[in-house]
Structures are given as C-alpha cells and as structure tokens.
Structure 1
Amino acid sequence: MFDWVPLYKEIARKVVEFELHQDALINLLRQLKVEGLKVVSLEDESLEGEVPLTELDPFTFFASFNRGQAPETRKAILKELKAHWSLMAAPPTDFEGVPVVNNFQSWFFPYFKDRGTDDIPKLWRLAKEVVNKDWKNFDVATLQDCLEIETVGLPKITMGMFWMSPDKYLSVDARNRPFFKARGIVIPVDAVSYFRFLHEVTAKLGSDFPALSREAYLESMGGPKKELSKPVEQSRAGDPERNYWWLNANPNIWNFEDLPVGRTQTYTSYNESGHKRQKYKYFSEVKPGDVVVGYVTSPQREVIAICEITKGLHSSPRGELIEFKKTEQLRNAVTYEELKTNPALAGSEPLTNNQGSLFSLTEEEYEVIRAIIDEKNIVLRLAAFELYTKADALSELFISEQDLDQLVRRLLRKKNVVLQGPPGVGKTFLAKRLAHLVMGKKDASRVEMIQFHQSYSYEDFIQGFRPLENGGFSIKSGIFYEFCRRAQRDPANEYFFIIDEINRGNLSKIFGELMLLLENDKRGIQFSIPLTYSKTAEDKFYIPENLYFVGTMNTADRSLSIVDYALRRRFSFVTLRPQFESAGFESILRSAGAPSVLVKKIRERMMELNDQIAGDPRNLGLGFCIGHSYFCPTNGVSPDETWYLDVIDSEIKPLLDEYWVDDPAKVDQAVSQLTA
C-alpha cells in the first residue's frame, strides 16, 4: 500500500529541474499524447484564439496522471515517465489515498489571455519549496502568492503539494475536509491557517499523511469511521445533528451585508401580506447551531454570507421568528451561475426552484458550496501581513519624503492618480508600494493589478455575455466589477486597483457609463447607476468610497495617442524622473556588491545620455529619458563590468534603436560612450 509515494517524490525532484526548460516538459506530454495517453490539454488561448501551450508549471504536469482517469492510464503514463528519465522507484500497483483533480480544471493557471506574467513563476517557486522543505520551514508568502492566481484555491493547490511531497503536506480537498472537521480539526481557509492545520493534524492524528488521505477517502465513500491512534477532543467534534439551510434576502427590504459579523438578525415565518412563507415547515425545523448560507436576490444573485442559527422558531410581538448570527462575510461572493453549473448541486433545492425564502441543504451540498467559497475567498489573517511604514517605503523608493507625502495626499484627495514617466523609472514598483503604504501593510488581497491593451473591453472589465458549455450565454462579471463588490463588503479598509499602461486602452469603451463614477465626489451607494447589462431597474452598481485607482503610463510609447481630457480631469498625474543621482540608487548598487568605480560610471554615463535625450525635444525630450531600474540588480545578481555591459546590450541599446530608428550612427555613438 502507498507504493506510489517513492515514484511521485522522484518525479517531483526531477520536474523542478525543468523551470528553464518548460518546453521539454510540454514536448514530453505531447509525445505521450501521440502514444494515445490522455494528458492535460496542451492548447492555450490568446486574444486571437487557440494557440499551442508554451509554458507549464510542475503541478499541472502532475495533473496529467492525477485526474479522473482509469488506473491503467495513470500507470501507463508513469511507466513512460520512469523510462524516459531512468527513474529508480518501482511503478505503483495502486493509487491509495491520492486525490484527483477535475478533468476540465486540470490546469493550475488561467489561459494566456487572462494569465498574469508572474502566475507560472509563482507556481515554480512553490513547487521548489514543496520539494525541498517541510512545512515547519516553509515560506508562507510563497503559498499565499499562488493563492492569488485566478484559477487556484487552497483545496486545489494543496492537492498538488500532496502529490509532490505526500509525506510533508496534506490536501484539504472536498473529501478530506469533512474527515478532519469531524475529528475537531479547524479547516484552513488561507496560507497561514493551512500550516496551523498541518500542525494540529500532526499533533492529534500523526504525520502519516497518505494513510490519513486514504482513511478520508474510504469514509467519504460510506466506509466505517475508523478510530485513529491519537485522541480527538470530543468537545470540538462535528455535530451529526446539525442541519444546513439556504436563506434568500431581498436587499430592497434587508441585506446580509448590512449585518455586522457577530450580530444577530431575526426573520419572520410570515411574509409581508401576513401569509405563511413557502416551505413553512422548514422554519419549525430550524434549531440553534444550524448553518445558514446567506443569499441575496439582487443586484446580482449570489451567496455573500454564512450564518448560524441562535434561536429556533419562537413567538415575539412581531410574530413567529427565527434568529441567526452572521459568522462570516464573504469578500468574494459565489454567484448563482457558479452554483447552478456545478454538477454536484444539480438536485439542490434552492437551485432547482428558488421561489421562496428558506430552503434545505444536505450536508454534502453544503460542503460543495463551502469548497467553492474557500476557493474564492483566500483571506490572510492579520498576523500574516507584513507591516509597511513610511520608513519602509523610503528605503525602497528613490523619492524624497516630501514628494512621497505629497503623492499620498493627492491619492487620498483625488482617489485616482496616474504615475507617468519614461521606461525604467519604477512606475509599477511605486504603484504597489503606494498601496501598501496607505494600507499600512502588505495585504495582497486588497490590491488588484491588470494591464490595459487595445483589445480590452467593457465586457472584460465590467460585465458582459459569455458562452456556456451547453451552447447558451450568461452574464459574467468582469475583474473590476468583482473587485468593487469586494471593496463594498469591506468598507472599513482601503482597496487599490492598479492599471498598468492605462493609456493603452480605450477608456471610454472600457469604463462606459462608469466614467462618471470615477470622480472622487461620485463614489458611494447614493450614486448607483444601472449598467449596460442590468436585468432590472433595481440592478444598479456603484464604486465604493474606499476604492482607489493607481494608473501607470509610459511617456515614451510613440504608438499611443495623448490621453483624452475626460481621463485627465478625473486623475491626478504625477511625473516620475530617472533617479541616477539619488543616494538610494547608489545604496542599492553598493549593497548588491557593485564596486564604487562601476557605480560612478553608471551614474555619470547614464546622466550624460539622458541629457542628450532631453536636449532633443523635436524627436525625444524628457519623456524619453531612460530610467534607473534597468541598473537595479535582481536578487542574487552581483553587479560587475560584465553585468553592466549585458544591461547595455540587452536593455539600453534596443531602446536607443527605437528612439533613433533613422539614425543608427547616433545609436552606435551613444553605445560606444556607454561602454568605453
């Protein structure tokens, strides 16, 4: 039993060697596919349509033999991998305790058109941590970074971690969660609580994770509950008598969002006309301790809260009531469409006929809904956030305290700023640190970053129709709509939406009717307006007061037109300049090991080049000066003369070729001056 473990671990150690040769992994999977073996999809999707996959992470590679496949297919794939790499471990005879991903959701990253530039590198960093470290020495931030990827949630990523190091990590998939919950173990919802979960499991049940995973599977399939060797605190064991309910709320009358977490709310068993509500018998069955899924019927149909019954049906001056306490407010709501299209909820009462107020859920249906909630709501606890102060910002940014204070004041007053400047002045770097500074901590869950391009549309950004697998269409909310909803549900905290290359998009086309709401005095629910795809007059939207925009704009991009007046009036524009002369730039180079003669050379020659560029206002000018970040070495790089020449050849010369495209002699002269 568990003879799959040695080969899985050996494959994991081998796969992490291919970070710089991902094409080799893709080609290997293509060869397996040619041989008739079913692996993950190898076709990506760009804005232009379907394209071959060109990058791959270790977890998705593992998913090729850990999906809903016949055991013979999985064994055949492993046999080929063993032969291809001349691995020592024997082929497995079974897959006891191995969780598998959905065949249609095997990738651990989005399509190319939706993928962040750092999504796959994040997964590689995590995979190497998983292979090389145990959970006691793990970098929590590495896992949290991956939880920010669009298609990754804690259940899925921990499944991948378990595949690669089954003796060190444990999956919190849908089969495992009820198993551990019934034994009084707190189910994790984020990176921090995941490692607490591993500590608690080890302390109470031991560290034989494959065996625990197998027991969880057997129990989920109806097998007898096995008493494990380590005791479980009975006071925290699961309640077999607990019931699960779904409660509809009409926000025109009352709303779950208006109820603070920890506060109670009552709900009558009679409607406004004095008649018994539909499913009246459910009201009489409700009892303290039951769990309630809080659902709103507008402006968008979605689950937004979890509650617990505190009093069953009882009489009061207002009539018969039930009472419940809100225990959780979801930052990321779960939409009706997401639930409706989940096969495991096909027969769920509130999804087959949503007419009424209170509906019954089975424990299995609740666990499915809970898993979707967990996938979408990765919230770090306060202890996990690294504090970020003005001193931290000044140590990282080549900007004076006075300029930094002024920038923060502009952002807080206008709520919208654009950081503009030539390439390499650190616009994006500053945008993120500006958000961290205002928040006072590095809370990635309250920062969203996208990049505009010429094909970006209102449907991508706000809302639009998207095709369904069955051939129909449904309205899908865009990234900004969802981010606004998160900010609306958390009014006590600031949220930051960073738009890189903001002038590359057609702002009127992307923002549509929301252009008005960008103004700092048009924020809040009182300025709600209907959207293009609103279904009813009551279906309105607003930008909350706690949301801030930070845009970046490259002033040296000749392909872009000047930003129109509508945008300039709504944003405060801040120009950034190269900072070669700053003490911060020198400090960065010296701390990385650059000799003083090289620091002096970089500063003098780049400042001379920028003087030449700025002195050519007819063709170039200040907006084309070259920034200092090209010469800020990345971690582990020792800046020396060879490194300097590489930067000139690979970064600076291509820029100059573009600047003086009609004067190559001028380029050669400038490069000669830099490298002399």
Structure 2
Amino acid sequence: MTYEIDRTWIDFYKELAERLLKYKNNREELIENVKKIYVTTNIRMPKLEKNHQLVDIDPFTVFGLFNKSAMKDSNKIKILETVAEIFNINSEVPTNFESVPTINTMNATYYYFLGDREENDIDNLWSLFENALAYAKNKKYQQKFMKYFDMSIEQKGNGRNKVTNGLYWIAPEVYSSLDWRTSQYVYETEKISDKYINHNEKIPNKISAKQYLKIVKQLKEYLSSSDTVMNSFVDLYYEAWKYSQEIKDKNREIETSDADKDVEVVNYWTISLDSQETKWREFLENSIIALGFNELGDFSTYEDKKQIKEKLQETNDTDRSYNNIANAILQFTHEMKAGDIVYATFEQSKVLGWGKITSEQVYEPNGEFKNIRQIDWKEQGEWTTPIKLKNKKLYKITPYKDTIEALNDIFTTSSEEDLGKEQIKYPKYSSEDFLNEVFISEQHYNRLIQLLEMKKNVILQGPPGVGKTFAAKRLAYSIMGVKDKNRVKMIQFHQSYSYEDFIMGFRPTETGFKLHTGAFYNFCKQAEQDMDHDYFFIIDEINRGNLSKIFGELFMLIENDKRGSELELLYADEKFTVPDNVYIIGLMNTADRSLAILDYALRRRFAFFDISAGFSTEGFKEYQEKLQSPKFDSLIQRVEDLNNDIRNDEMLGEDFIIGHSYFSNLTQVTDTILSNIVEFEIIPLLKEYWFDEPSKVDIWADTLRSAIR
C-alpha cells in the first residue's frame, strides 16, 4: 500500500541540505542569503541573534526558518520559493506540510545567543549535519554521527524534539522524528505491538545517540513487518500527526451548533500584559500572544472551567477561585480564532498595539510560553485610552461597540487596515434556505414568522430530536437574511439560573462585591445601539428555569406593546428598556416529565408553536432520496411505525415521538452509522419511555435492527 501523502517536500529538503553543506566554511555568505530571504519575501526576519546582529548560523536553524509551528502555510511557501531561487534548488517547491514536523516558534534557533552559548556550539551543529548526511549514505560514519549527536543534543536549548526533527528533515528515509507527536503515537496509543516497542520506556529529552539509534531500529523493524501497512518514517509521522489532530478535535469544546457552524464572525479582544516591557517585547519579536499558566500543560486537554480551576488550585496550593482565568483559557483555546482583532493593553488606560490572529492555539511543550497563538501585529506604540479598560487577562469586547470604536479612534491606520470598517461578510440566508434545511412545511414556516412578528416572543415546543435548536437559529437567520451570529445569542435555563445571571447582580470578588451585568441585559444594550437590525435571544430549556425569579420586573417589558417602555432596575439606579428589535425564542422539550406546569405569566407573553417530526415533509423526502440508501429508507419506515405506537400509548403520546434530527445531516450512509443511531440514541430513549415494559423495548429494538441487517 502507498499512502496518499504529498511527499514533494522530501526531494526539496534533501536538495537544500546538500546545498547548505557547501556553506560550512563560508557562513558569511549564508548569513547574507538568509537576510535576502526576508528582504525578498517582505516577511519580518525572526530574531536569530542578540540585538538582531546575526554573526553565525547553523544549517538546522536555516531549516527551522520555514518549519515553525505557528507559521502559516502561505508564508512557508513564500519563503521556500525564495529559498529555491537563492540556493538554486531544482526540486518542486512543496505546498503541503502534513508529514513535516515543526519546532517551537519561540525556540526556533538550534543555538543560544552570544554570551549564553559555548564557543563551539554552532560548529558542533555543522559537524552533526555533515555526518548525518554522510551516515545516511554510508554506515561507516556511524561513530562520528553519534559523537556529534550527543554533543549537539546536550547544548543549551536543544533536546529530543529539535534534534530528531532536524535529522528527519534532511534524511527521512534514515532518521525518525521523536517529537511529542511521534512519541505520543508510538508509546502511548499501543498502536504498535509490545514486540517492537517497550511502552513503559520513558524517553529522556536529552536522549543519547545510542538510545536514538536503538529506537530507530525498532521502528524500522515494525515498518518492515506485516503488522502495519506503513512503510516509512514519513508514513509514521503522518499517522502521528493525524492522531494528534483527532485528539485535539475530540477535546475541543465547540461553542456553535450545526445551525451556525458555517458562520464566520470577527471577534474583538483585549489582552492585558502583566509586564509592559518584557512580555510585550517577546510578543512582538515572535508574533504571538499567550496567557502563561505553563503549569496547566496543553490547554486543549481541559474540557471545562472546573478542571482548569482544580488544576490551578492543586498546583498552587490555594483555594482561590480562578474563575476569570479559567474562562480566559477556554476562550483563548476554543473561541478565539484566526481573523480576530486583539488589542494589547497595559493597566487600564494604555494600549500598546493591535493585530490580527493568524493561527489556532498551539501547544509547545518546551517553549517559554507553552500555549500560544500566532498574531500579525499591525501597529505598536503607546496610546492613552479615553475609556477605562477591564483589567482582565483576556476580555472579549465584541458586544461593546462603543469600546471598540473608542479603541479604534486612537489608531491611525491605512484605509486597507481601517479597524472601523465592516470586518465581516455574512453568508446570505433566505426563507428558501430555511425550508431546504428545516423540515417543516412552507405554510407552518409562514405562520411561525407571523407569530414572532406579532408577539415578539415565541416558544418552539416539541418532542426530543425534532431539531428545535437548529430551527431556532435558522429561523433567526432567515428573518435577518444573513447568518449574522453576532445578532443571535443563545443561553440555557436551569434550576439554579437567576435574575443575577440574566439581568444583573452583585458577585463576590477578592476585595468584596461588584455589580455584574447579565446575558439579557448585555444583549439588549447591544441591540439598542443597532436599531436598524433585528436581534434574536434564544433560551434553551426555558421551562426549566424559575421564570418569575429570572425575569423579575422585566416580565412586563418583554410584551410586544411594552417594548420601549422604561423601568428602574432592582440593583441599579438605571432606567432599562427591552428594545423593539429584540425577539425572544424559547425552546421547550415536551417529553420532560419532571417539569411543573408553566407559569401563567409565561404563557400570556409567549406564543407557542409545535414542532413535530418532519419525516413526511417535502424537504426530508428530498434529503432521503439524495442518500439513495434502501437500508436508510427501511429504518425510517420502522421509526414512523414506532412513532405511531408511541402516539397510541396512554402514558406517552405525541410529545414523545422520535424526531427526524437523529437522521439528519448525513452525507453518506453506512451500516455502522445507522447502527450507532439505533443502539446509542434511539434504544436508550425507548428504555426510558418503557422502563416498566422491557419486553416492548426488546421487540422494537429487534425491529429497528432488522431494518439495517
């Protein structure tokens, strides 16, 4: 088997290695060529020496120029195109780097700067480079290779990751990378049998040449065996890279649903610097931002704020809440994204610069900052702000247009980079798009629009799996005409949700109590500044909250004929109003037996719209026809029969039928996919419905399974 991997980089990197070898005794010319790369590409040259006065360089660091973890592929390609021209490389310039390991952006030189490195450090690296290429061709150079391997890896700033990555770049048929991705895949996943690898072995960072060559030999034996379809170290690294991506995706909290996954929104952030001089200089020189908290390891491995807070409390032996810090870490890891605008601030009155995020969160185990995002700093200096800024580590200011405008006014930017310009191009979304994706009839859709316009407040109610959340967001987008996620806010009520969470209230701080505004208050203030556009506030599980307690005095203001009326708030000497352009959509699961009868005040102020299973709608029929799957068709027929049984059950009824969303959004149909829906979604639901009739559950389970046999 041959892996479908783009291996263009191999020939290019190997040819470049041979070209670089000629500069071993002519490093002055190599330095001039390196400088020429950045002049030609118009990319800012990284810091390669103290005060940027480059006096010497090794060949591995030259490779590191375009193999940095946070570097965009477009910049890698731009540099490599220039490298090809300067060094007369004939091989095709690579454009794909999935099987190429990278090194920490913050630690991209293989030597320490003048004054901190030993006299022969760079010479040793050249000797390792030369003998590694020689050993790749002739095993008689093994002893020399081992000698300089051990010398180079013991140098300050070097370790297993960097040195083995460098060797892999120049001869991937001989040397394996042993960076964190490969080590994780080889030693932690048990994908490689114990007969090849000792999974209990702890590989040191300062690994010896003898240990390294032993592991390389073990991996070669595995790759040449019948136990794998992989054939080379490139295949192995590609698998390790894929595995690391899967783990990262698995651990990533996704804040959006399918309803708005294709909506791109530019968010605005402030990042507060603890040290105005040191951290800001490092951020600028390395084109990054970071929060610190290296003791947490990889931010992406934490699932929620609770885990982060517990780890910080344990590590620092304190009962401090760490609530704001935990929230900042989750936002930095999961919510911030490429294209977002960041303002670097100091104290509460100074702005040091602004830039655009260019990468996802990157974890660098050996970096000074272990969790970073790459950023393109646009302006730097020192400005005094006309407003008082939040003194938070990371703060999302997207909802506060006055704050953004005040910050933008202090910069003098070109028209191309004008921060005041509209930054977002929203996808258009029409009623036709809604009907193609949400399986209700056009008649019901038009009636729903009329209800929302008339009452301003609507509750979508129905059994589980009918796509209420999806429908709510798509409904908002269809009315707006675009998928503007900034004008849609979704929260979830629960038994502990309070007025203080929804409107405002006092919360404890380290020095006392402070008045905080809630989700609905902030949303109304945002909508009030943009009365030309509609805003939609969606409340999931609306019947789970204590509505009178949560809405308080605002229950009256949400009525259609009371919009624009003012009322003094409980905790503030402030007149508050619910703007006319705010629509409230509540979601309610009618199958929830545990809920009390809804408050009459809620029923009077909301229109109720039933959403049922859409198996018989034209939209679902078209979707079903496109899948072209007899087994899918058979399963849907069985589910419709099951729903008839549920409807006729005295203890259940229409509110408990199985919805269509369990079967939606499939691009292909396999036995495994259908089986997973049946076994892990529908059958557990039936066990809840007929907990006292296990034989009935068994009958329907067999019926559903038979449809896909």
- 1:114-513 equivalence runs, <5 A: 158=357, 160-161=359-360, 171-172=375-376, 176-179=377-380, 220=381, 246=386, 332=400, 381=423, 384-468=425-509, 470-513=510-553
- Once the 2 structures are TM-superposed, how far is the Cα of residue 603 of structure 1 from its aligned partner? 2.6
Partner in structure 2 of residue 540 of structure 1: 575
1:652 corresponds to which letter in structure 2? Answer: I
Partner in structure 2 of residue 529 of structure 1: 567
Distance 1:438 1:395 in 2: 15
Change in 2 beyond 3 A, CA 1:11/1:459: farther
- Once the 2 structures are TM-superposed, how far is the Cα of residue 563 of structure 1 from its aligned partner? 1.5
Partner in structure 1 of residue 636 of structure 2: 603
Change in 2 beyond 3 A, CA 1:330/1:579: closer
Higher alpha-carbon Rg: 2
1:101 corresponds to which letter in structure 2? Answer: A
- Once the 2 structures are TM-superposed, how far is the Cα of residue 19 of structure 1 from its aligned partner? 13
Preserved CA contact (<8 Å) 1:68 1:101: no
- Once the 2 structures are TM-superposed, how far is the Cα of residue 585 of structure 1 from its aligned partner? 1.5
Preserved CA contact (<8 Å) 1:331 1:490: no
Offset from partner CA, 1:511-536 (integer Å, 9 cap, x none): 11111111111111xx21111111x3
Distance 1:98 1:178 in 2: 12
1:626 corresponds to which letter in structure 2? Answer: I
Preserved CA contact (<8 Å) 1:633 1:639: no
Offset from partner CA, 1:467-520 (integer Å, 9 cap, x none): 33x422211111111100000111111000011111111111111111111111
- Three-state SS of the structure 1 residue aligned to 2:588 is strand
Picking from 557, 577, 589, the partner of 2:592 is 557
Change in 2 beyond 3 A, CA 1:96/1:486: closer
Change in 2 beyond 3 A, CA 1:330/1:156: closer
Partner in structure 1 of residue 653 of structure 2: 621
- Once the 2 structures are TM-superposed, how far is the Cα of residue 155 of structure 1 from its aligned partner? 6.1
Change in 2 beyond 3 A, CA 1:587/1:490: same
Preserved CA contact (<8 Å) 1:589 1:633: no
Partner in structure 2 of residue 672 of structure 1: 702
Distance 1:611 1:18 in 2: 54
- Once the 2 structures are TM-superposed, how far is the Cα of residue 424 of structure 1 from its aligned partner? 0.7
Preserved CA contact (<8 Å) 2:251 2:303: no
Change in 2 beyond 3 A, CA 1:392/1:462: same
Change in 2 beyond 3 A, CA 1:392/1:531: same
Change in 2 beyond 3 A, CA 1:11/1:155: farther
1:101 aligns with 2:136: no
Partner in structure 2 of residue 8 of structure 1: 69
Distance 1:672 1:366 in 2: 68
2:508 corresponds to which letter in structure 1? Answer: P
- Once the 2 structures are TM-superposed, how far is the Cα of residue 103 of structure 1 from its aligned partner? 3.9
2:400 corresponds to which letter in structure 1? Answer: N
Distance 2:622 2:358 in 1: 43
Partner in structure 2 of residue 589 of structure 1: 624
1:587 corresponds to which letter in structure 2? Answer: E
Change in 2 beyond 3 A, CA 1:121/1:12: farther
Partner in structure 2 of residue 255 of structure 1: none
- Once the 2 structures are TM-superposed, how far is the Cα of residue 403 of structure 1 from its aligned partner? 1.1
- Once the 2 structures are TM-superposed, how far is the Cα of residue 594 of structure 1 from its aligned partner? 4.0
Offset from partner CA, 1:107-153 (integer Å, 9 cap, x none): 79996489999x979967998xx7xxxxxxxxx7xx79xxxxxxxxx
Change in 2 beyond 3 A, CA 1:498/1:162: closer
Preserved CA contact (<8 Å) 2:455 2:560: yes
Preserved CA contact (<8 Å) 2:441 2:618: no
- Once the 2 structures are TM-superposed, how far is the Cα of residue 541 of structure 1 from its aligned partner? 0.7
Picking from 573, 586, 609, the partner of 2:608 is 573
- Three-state SS of the structure 2 residue aligned to 1:610 is helix
Sequence identity (%): 38
- Once the 2 structures are TM-superposed, how far is the Cα of residue 380 of structure 1 from its aligned partner? 5.3
- Three-state SS of the structure 1 residue aligned to 2:602 is helix
- Once the 2 structures are TM-superposed, how far is the Cα of residue 561 of structure 1 from its aligned partner? 1.7
Change in 2 beyond 3 A, CA 1:381/1:412: farther
Partner in structure 1 of residue 664 of structure 2: 632
Change in 2 beyond 3 A, CA 1:540/1:551: same
State TM-score, norm by structure 1: 0.52
Distance 2:335 2:578 in 1: 36
2:647 corresponds to which letter in structure 1? Answer: A
- Once the 2 structures are TM-superposed, how far is the Cα of residue 665 of structure 1 from its aligned partner? 1.1
Distance 1:406 1:122 in 2: 42
Change in 2 beyond 3 A, CA 1:476/1:632: same
Distance 1:15 1:559 in 2: 48
Partner in structure 1 of residue 76 of structure 2: none
Distance 1:662 1:18 in 2: 51
- 1:38-53 equivalence runs, <5 A: none
- Once the 2 structures are TM-superposed, how far is the Cα of residue 604 of structure 1 from its aligned partner? 1.5
Distance 1:616 1:366 in 2: 67
State TM-score, norm by structure 2: 0.50
- Three-state SS of the structure 2 residue aligned to 1:178 is strand
Change in 2 beyond 3 A, CA 1:480/1:586: same
- Once the 2 structures are TM-superposed, how far is the Cα of residue 404 of structure 1 from its aligned partner? 0.7
Change in 2 beyond 3 A, CA 1:476/1:664: same
Offset from partner CA, 1:531-586 (integer Å, 9 cap, x none): 1111x3xx111100000001110011112222121111100000111111223223
Preserved CA contact (<8 Å) 2:354 2:379: no
2:433 corresponds to which letter in structure 1? Answer: D
- Three-state SS of the structure 2 residue aligned to 1:423 is coil
1:503 corresponds to which letter in structure 2? Answer: N
2:520 corresponds to which letter in structure 1? Answer: F
Change in 2 beyond 3 A, CA 1:644/1:56: closer
Partner in structure 1 of residue 150 of structure 2: none
- Three-state SS of the structure 1 residue aligned to 2:598 is coil
Offset from partner CA, 1:205-232 (integer Å, 9 cap, x none): xxxxxxxxxxxxxxx59xxxxxxxxxxx
Partner in structure 2 of residue 209 of structure 1: none
Offset from partner CA, 1:66-105 (integer Å, 9 cap, x none): 9979x999xxxxxxxxxxxxxxxxxxx9994343434479
Preserved CA contact (<8 Å) 1:99 1:159: no
Count of matched residue positions in the alignment of Structure 1 and Structure 2: 410
Unaligned runs of 5+ in 2: 1-46, 49-60, 71-100, 105-178, 190-201, 206-249, 255-271, 307-322, 342-352, 365-372, 391-396
Offset from partner CA, 1:604-644 (integer Å, 9 cap, x none): 21111001001013x1110000101101144xx52133322
CA RMSD of aligned residues (A): 5.1
- 1:18-33 equivalence runs, <5 A: none
Bigger Cα displacement from structure 2, 515-524 vs 555-564: 555-564
1:649 aligns with 2:649: no
Offset from partner CA, 1:25-48 (integer Å, 9 cap, x none): xxxxxxx9xx9xxxxxxxxxxxxx
Distance 2:452 2:670 in 1: 39
Partner in structure 1 of residue 6 of structure 2: none
